[in-house]
Each structure stands twice: as C-alpha cells, then as structure tokens.
Chain A
Amino acid sequence: MAVYVFATILGGVRLYQQKSDSRTFTYPAILLGFVVQSAGLYFRGMEIGACPLGNIFEVVQFALWSTIFLFLVIGPVFQVHLLGTTTAGLVAITGIISLLVPAWDTPHSEALFGGDPLIEFHAAVSIFSYGIFGLLSTVSILYLIQYNALERKWRSRLFNFLPSIVKLDDLARRLLSAGVLILTLAFISGILVWFDEAWNHMHWKLVTVFVLWLGYGAVWLMRLRQRFTPHRAAICFLSLYIFALFSLWPVNRAHEIKLEQNTAAPEVAPEFLHE
C-alpha cells in the first residue's frame, strides 16, 4: 500500500507541476506495488493452502490486486492520462481501510474451499470481476470530473491533463462488457455450487451477486441500445461499485453463519463446510 501511496503522490505532484509525463513515473511504481502485493497474497495463499479469499480483508486485497493487474494490462494499450494515479489512489485508500479494520482479517480454516475446484473458480472469478468494476469506477471518476469540468466550465489547465470523455467512455464500455461477462461466469458457477441449498433458504451471497449482476447487466444493455447517457452510466457504475463493496459484509456474514452452523451440526456435507 505504501508503494501505491507513493505512486499516487508522484502522479499528483507531476499533475500539480502541470507535466504530462506522470505515466513514466507512476507505472513503474505501480508495477513494484503489484509485485509486492502479489508476493503478499502468495505467502498468504501458501499459509492457508488455498486462494486467499477467506475473509473481507483477503477479498478486498484480491479485488485490489485484480484492479491493479487490469490497469497494468490495459493502461499501456489505452494510454489514458492519470488512470494510473487515480487507480493507485483508489487502491491505496481502500487497501489502507482494509488494514485499519482488524476485524476484517478474521482467522479461517486452512481447507478453505473444501477441495472443490468449482468453488475456488467461483470465488476467484467473482473477485476478479470486482477488480474489473474497481477499474471501471476509477474510469468513471475521471469521466465525471472531466464531464463536469466541461459542462460547468471549470477553469484550470489541469483539466487538459485528464483523458477525453470519448476515450473514457470507450474504455468504460469495454470494461463493463468484460466485467459483466466475468460476473456472469461467477454467477453461473455460484448457482452450480449452491443450487440445492438456495431452494432451502435465502442465500445472501447469491442474492447480492444476482442484484449486482442485474445492475451491471441493465446498464450494459441500456448502453448497448444507446438509451443511457455515458454520464448517467458513470454515476451508476460508482453506485454499483459502492454496493459491491458493501455486499462483502453480507457475503462474509453468510460465511460466518455457515461456519457456526457447521460447528453445531457436523453432519453437513463437507463441500458446504466453508461457505
């Protein structure tokens, strides 16, 4: 997180100095942060013997790692100004919050996914889609700043360093399509895993993923049919991402309830032990 903070400050300073070469400095810093974060997640994974997605802290870290991974892949292709600085900033803030709440890093069982590859696939794909939506939110923030600056005629040369709204809208559309596709995979794999259980009682995890999928899917459809302005879509993306982050709590809570139930009733099938 310290490296991401450093990258954000570096990008901010270059922006303040009205230099357009912030990418030259922020990209290597973010790359370094990504390597360090990957190592951290690797060691955590080795420690628990599975993909580190057992509590809110790990989920947040994995989502942020996915966001940075996507930025590193997409950033050089789209050459979007300040995307690195904004992404690093967003990741640093969210990451620091996750570090400041010790309750989020609750200890969990080592055999996290009960050896079921479908659950592991579902978890990894879900969080990866969160990563995509994280980057989509970053793009939306940049879009809203530039849009409002143009519409309200805010006067500062700094806005010349922001990417154009057409470029940001194009990137947002691509990220939305990719995100919806990945989230659909996550939703389908989730249904396959919890199909039987979902009929018995309300499955919060599935409900939140379904609401999220419905939200992003609706915006995607409206954008595809060009019935939605990019400005309104950007506001939706931010609102949905905030909802996605808040949905981690009921997801984690469902996980804890399940663990408590399993402790009380050990006869439950082993594949549901850790969900």
Chain B
Amino acid sequence: MSLPRSLLVLGVSHHRTPLDVRELFSLSKEDVETLAQRLLALSCVQEVVLLNTCNRVEAYLASETEPDPEAVLGAISEVTRQPIELLRDLHYAHANSDMLVHLFSVASGLDSQMIGETEILGQVKESLTRARSHKWTGRIMSPIFERSFQAAKWARTHTGIGQGQVTIGNVVVDLVTRVFGDLVHPRILLVGSGEVAEKTAQSLASRGARDITVTGRSFDRAESLARTFNGAVLPFETFRTNLHLYDIIICSTAAPEPLLSSELVSEISQRRRFAPILLVDVAVPRDVDSTVGALKQVFLYNMDDLADIANENLRLRQQEVENCLAELKRRAWRTWLRSIRRTFGSKLARRQ
C-alpha cells in the first residue's frame, strides 16, 4: 500500500438530503461511467471509486495533490444535470484519515439509513469491482477498500450492531400485520425484481406469505424470482390493469418517472371497494407518486418512512453503535499510519 497523498470522499446521502431531492442525484449505469471519466480527467485525480446506492452517491478519490472539491462538485452537477448550488448546500466531504473512518462506517452499515444493515457491504464491494474492471482504481484505493471489508466483518461479528437488526423486509412484515392481520391471505405484487424486492419478498415468504406475483421489465428475471417463491409472473405491459387484485404492492424498479399515479391508485381503490392497499415504494427515484399517500384506505411507505420505523429502536442500540464507531476509528487511524510508514520506508529504501 503506497502513501496516498490525498484521499477525499465527496457525496450526498440520506443524512442531509431528503428522498425527494436525493432521487434527483441517482445515477444510471451510464451516468456512473461518465462521472468516473470526468473525475479521472481532473488534473490531480489518480483513482476513483463511485458508490451509487438508493441512499447515497459518493465519489472516493485518491490524488497526488489535494483535489479541488469545487471541480468534483462541478462534475457531479454536470452528470446529474442538477444545479451546483444545490450540491454545495447538501454535500459533505472528508479527507485522508477522516475519509477512511467514513468508508469503514459506510461498509459496516453504521452510516446506513437503517443502522447495521448488511446490504451496503455488497454495494461497496460491487463499486470496487466495477472500478477495478474499468481500471479506475489501482494500488491506492483497492487496499483501502479491502481494509474496509475487514472492518465491516469485524463490526458484524464482534459488536452488537447487527443484533435485532431491523431490515426493510421485517418492517414491511410488521406493516402488513398491522393492516391485514396475517400474511397468508393478502395478495402481494412485486413490481421490479431487484435485490431489495427480492429480500423483502423473502421476509414475507418466510413469515407465511403464499400469494406472491412478480412483474418487471425483464420477464426472465421476474420469472426466475417468482420461481423462488412459487409465485406467478405478470407481464410488465399489463400489470397496471390488474393492480386492483393485489393488497400489497412493493415497487422497486429503476424507472426514472413514477409508475403509479394518484389517479391510477384512486381508480384501483374504488374498484377494490375501499379495501385497504399497502404500497411499499423502495425505489429511488420513487415509483409511486407522493400524492398517493393522501388517498383514503391507501397506505404508502417509501424508503425514508421505512428507515424511520426501523431506527425506532436505535436508542436501545446507541451504546453499541458508539463502541463500534470508536473501534472503527482506531482501525482507520492504524490503516492510515501503516500506509504512511510503508511509503516512507519504500522511499527511504529507494534513496539508499
């Protein structure tokens, strides 16, 4: 591991940005590639890892000299087509050892919207893999990210942050129980066959849900997911006409515009003769128009709502979180010192 002259993370996340603004910064696959190229084109930047999830967009940079945050913000603003002033207000930046602490916290799930969740680790790993495959990263960032995976593993096995973990799936199960009483009778429709939808469906199925239907733009993927729950598949083109048949609708597509409008859901509600509908929108950008929540007998929950419920018991785990964060800071600092020591050692050897 050579000495990183300057490490910087810059991004926007759920901490300072509400969902309706956060979704403006969500990046498509192409956007991620464009942004990485733009950042690498900046004079000082040597390596880039981009972390793009529904709750955060972060650029991890390694450079010879301190990168200009304004230039990084400009690149993000250009790719996301959002005003730079908005980014200036909402962004955060951490440099050097603080960046390591931040990365370790993110990978461990301590910085997540649902504290202690494990999905983020997979997303961080995926970001590194993508950066490696495109050769956006090399000797500096890769070892640092590897250390963050070790730190996350340690946090999970040696602290209580994951104990009593409340996942999106568990929160949805609780909501279903409060609306319908059990999971056996309600009919469930998954719109989108992404990872979040799959995990939510797994939670529902493990608690007794029987009637699960999947629809998605990719019919094969939807069919494969439906098969795991012995469920049915609905063609994406026609799912809107059958919505009134479902009690619980879980949306998690990557559609840039809302799929379900207020008018459509109002019509469904009337066709269902005011039987309640539970709409769970875990997509960012959102799949369900926010005005749908105002309809009677329609209960709409988005990512922020679910996270708020999940973190309700955070107070009970606060001490555990603090202990974990303290240890992660120690590990980040050791990693930073080790990298400096090694670099000076190698430079000294070269001089001799």
Q: Which residues of A contact B (CB under 8 A)?
A: 146, 149-151, 153, 155-157, 159-160, 162-167, 226, 228-231
- Checking A149, A162, A226 against B274 with a beta-carbon cut-off of 8 angstroms, the contacting residue is A226
Chain B residues within 8 Å of A155, by CB: 308-309, 312
The 6 A-B residue pairs whose C-beta atoms are closest, nearest first, are A164-B181, A226-B273, A167-B181, A229-B274, A150-B299, A166-B180
- Checking B181, B274, B276, B301 against A163 with a beta-carbon cut-off of 8 angstroms, the contacting residue is B181
Is the CB of B179 closer than 8 A to any CB of chain A? yes
Is the CB of B20 closer than 8 A to any CB of chain A? no
Is the CB of B174 closer than 8 A to any CB of chain A? yes
Q: Are A165 and B276 in contact (CB under 8 A)?
A: yes
Is the CB of B297 closer than 8 A to any CB of chain A? yes
CA A231 to CA B181, docked complex, whole Å = 17
Is the CB of B347 closer than 8 A to any CB of chain A? no
Chain B residues within 8 Å of A149, by CB: 178
Is the CB of B175 closer than 8 A to any CB of chain A? yes
CA A166 to CA B305, docked complex, whole Å = 22
- Checking A162, A226, A228 against B178 with a beta-carbon cut-off of 8 angstroms, the contacting residue is A162
Q: Are A165 and B178 in contact (CB under 8 A)?
A: yes
Q: Are A151 and B180 in contact (CB under 8 A)?
A: no
CA A167 to CA B309, docked complex, whole Å = 23
- Checking A160, A166, A229 against B181 with a beta-carbon cut-off of 8 angstroms, the contacting residue is A166
Chain B residues within 8 Å of A231, by CB: 296-297
Chain A residues within 8 Å of B319, by CB: none
Nearest-neighbour CB distance to chain B for A172, whole angstroms, equals 13
Within 8 A of A (CB), among B297-313: 297, 299, 301, 305, 308-309, 312-313
- Checking B274, B296, B313 against A157 with a beta-carbon cut-off of 8 angstroms, the contacting residue is B313
Q: List 15 A-B contacts (CB under 8 A).
A: A150-B299, A151-B293, A153-B301, A155-B309, A164-B177, A164-B180, A164-B181, A165-B178, A165-B179, A165-B276, A166-B180, A166-B181, A228-B274, A229-B297, A230-B274
CA A29 to CA B139, docked complex, whole Å = 72
Q: Which of A149, A151, A160, A226 has the most CB of B within 10 A?
A: A151
Q: Are B179 and A150 in contact (CB under 8 A)?
A: yes
Q: Are B178 and A146 in contact (CB under 8 A)?
A: yes
Chain B residues within 8 Å of A163, by CB: 181
Question: Contact string, B68-107, partner A, CB cutoff 8 A, digits 1/0?
Answer: 0000000000000000000000000000000000000000
- The chain A residue sitting closest to B274, CB to CB, is A229
Nearest-neighbour CB distance to chain A for B20, whole angstroms, equals 15
Nearest-neighbour CB distance to chain A for B22, whole angstroms, equals 18
Using A153-B308, A164-B177, A226-B274 as known contacts, list a sample of 17 further A-B pairs with CB atoms less than 8 Å apart, ordered by residue number in A.
Answer: A150-B179, A151-B293, A151-B299, A153-B305, A153-B309, A155-B308, A156-B312, A157-B313, A160-B174, A160-B178, A164-B178, A164-B179, A164-B180, A164-B181, A167-B181, A229-B274, A230-B297
Question: Contact string, B169-192, partner A, CB cutoff 8 A, digits 1/0?
Answer: 000001101111100000000000
CA A226 to CA B275, docked complex, whole Å = 9
Interface size in chain B (residues, C-beta < 8 A): 20
- The chain A residue sitting closest to B269, CB to CB, is A229
Chain A residues within 8 Å of B276, by CB: 165-166
- The chain A residue sitting closest to B294, CB to CB, is A151
Q: Are A166 and B296 in contact (CB under 8 A)?
A: no
CA A166 to CA B186, docked complex, whole Å = 11
Nearest-neighbour CB distance to chain B for A118, whole angstroms, equals 41
CA A150 to CA B309, docked complex, whole Å = 11
CA A58 to CA B101, docked complex, whole Å = 72
Within 8 A of A (CB), among B305-340: 305, 308-309, 312-313
Chain A residues within 8 Å of B309, by CB: 153, 155
- The chain A residue sitting closest to B293, CB to CB, is A151
CA A215 to CA B4, docked complex, whole Å = 77
- The chain A residue sitting closest to B302, CB to CB, is A153
Chain A residues within 8 Å of B293, by CB: 151
Q: Which of A151, A153, A162, A165 has the most CB of B within 10 A?
A: A153
- The chain A residue sitting closest to B180, CB to CB, is A166
Chain B residues within 8 Å of A165, by CB: 178-179, 276
CA A159 to CA B312, docked complex, whole Å = 12
CA A191 to CA B325, docked complex, whole Å = 76
Chain A residues within 8 Å of B180, by CB: 164, 166
Q: Are A150 and B177 in contact (CB under 8 A)?
A: no
Chain B residues within 8 Å of A230, by CB: 274, 297
Nearest-neighbour CB distance to chain A for B58, whole angstroms, equals 28
Nearest-neighbour CB distance to chain B for A81, whole angstroms, equals 10
Chain B residues within 8 Å of A167, by CB: 181
Q: Are A160 and B177 in contact (CB under 8 A)?
A: yes
Chain B residues within 8 Å of A229, by CB: 274, 296-297
| Given known A229-B274, A231-B296, contact A166–B179 (CB-CB < 8 A) | yes
- The chain A residue sitting closest to B186, CB to CB, is A166
CA A150 to CA B297, docked complex, whole Å = 10
Chain A residues within 8 Å of B305, by CB: 153
Chain B residues within 8 Å of A157, by CB: 312-313
Chain B residues within 8 Å of A150, by CB: 175, 178-179, 299
- The chain A residue sitting closest to B301, CB to CB, is A153
Chain A residues within 8 Å of B308, by CB: 153, 155
- The chain A residue sitting closest to B310, CB to CB, is A155
CA A230 to CA B297, docked complex, whole Å = 8
Within 8 A of A (CB), among B265-294: 273-274, 276, 293
CA A229 to CA B178, docked complex, whole Å = 18
Chain B residues within 8 Å of A146, by CB: 178
Nearest-neighbour CB distance to chain B for A273, whole angstroms, equals 50
- The chain A residue sitting closest to B182, CB to CB, is A164
Chain B residues within 8 Å of A153, by CB: 301, 305, 308-309
